[in-house]
Amino acid sequence: MEVILLRVAAAILLFFGVAGSAFAAQPAPFTPSAFAAAQAEGKPILVDVTAPWCPVCARQHPILSELEQRPELRDLVVFDVDFDSQKDTLKQFGVRMQSTLIVFSGKTEAARATGITDPAEIQALLMKAKSP
């Protein structure tokens, strides 16, 4: 009986460990309330300004997806801002181009970059959200 309980407990832990990493840093559409909540919690945040027609954005997305799954970025909160339809948000952040990545450490903007596609540069940018 004890062995069965241990196996069940191990299976549950394994499932949540795998499921937890699979759902890390899932991008969500930007909303002011969700962004404010993440800031208030002191979370590391990425604001990804993107457009479906943007070739640079298309190159950034798989890199971001891979980096967001890494353990050191598991708690990164990712918000997508649509360049074509969220003009008020673009104005709020002072963004003029799609493919802009902005990182925040809580309420503080830590860094931003536009048009970068080098994985090492993107990772360095994302890690700035983890700095106090």
Contact 51, 57 (CB under 8 A): yes
Residue 68: what pLDDT? 93
Rounded percentage of the chain residues whose pLDDT exceeds 70: 80
Residue 45: what pLDDT? 97
Residue 132: what pLDDT? 65
Nearest alpha carbon to residue 92 among 41, 30, 50, 44: 30
Give the phi and the psi of residue 98 in degrees, each rounded to 5: -70, 170
Mean pLDDT in runs of 10 for the chain (132 residues)?
40 39 67 96 96 98 95 95 97 97 96 98 96 70
Residue 26: what pLDDT? 79
Question: What is the value of pTM for the model shown?
Answer: 0.81
Residue 109: what pLDDT? 97
Q: How far apart are CA 76 and CA 72, in angstroms?
A: 9
97 DSSP 8-state letter: S
Q: How far apart are CA 80 and CA 50, in angstroms?
A: 7
Q: Which residues pair with 45 in a beta bridge?
A: 77, 104
The architecture in CATH of the region 25-130 reads 3-Layer(aba) Sandwich (3.40)
> What tokens were used for 68?
């967001």
Residue 75: what pLDDT? 93
